[in-house]
Amino acid sequence: MASPSSSSSTSRNWQYDVFPSFSGEDIRKNFLSHFLKELERKMIFAFKDNEMERSQSIWPELVQAIRESRIAVVLFSKNYASSSWCLNELLEIVRCKEELGQIVIPVFYGLDPSEVRKQNGDFGKFFNKTCQNRTKQVKSQWQKALTDVANILGYHSEN
């Protein structure tokens, strides 16, 4: 069980230390597997989506895992914005940051933070395609969340 660190979250009982938000098998195989091994080696408990019970409804379990994680690590790749699932996870992560004092750490994998911040480049193309058939309100919420999280000091994979 993770112990809380920030004063705004001292009364919380965290189920996980880290919730990784990511999209794509490229991230899962190349980056995430190494990242999770390193966390495990350091006795840091991370939520792992591939360990979820198969008979469970996925979304409520993901929301619960996000809410019960002290830290959310958002692994932005060019494919992240191609997933409405990830964009909705991001909305929940931003909510938890604001309401629960969750720590959010962005990692920019193979793309520049400005592509996420401004939704341009390949990231922007995927984002615009995902926004087709969505309301202006949903697109606006996703844009704000992407910009807010991309403005947090994080890590760039090339560094």
Q: How is residue 125 written in tokens?
A: 């193309």
Quote the CA–CA distance of 4 and 45 in Å, as a whole number: 13
Q: How is residue 127 written in tokens?
A: 């984002």
Contact 119, 90 (CB under 8 A): no
Quote the CA–CA distance of 157 and 159 in Å, as a whole number: 5
Is residue 107 helix, strand or coil? strand
* Active-site residue (options: 68, 89, 92, 115): 89
Is 89 a known active-site residue?
yes
Angle at CA of residue 35, ends 59 and 17, nearest 5° = 55
Quote the CA–CA distance of 70 and 92 in Å, as a whole number: 13
Within the chain, how many helices (H) and strands (E) appear? 7, 4
Known catalytic residues are 89
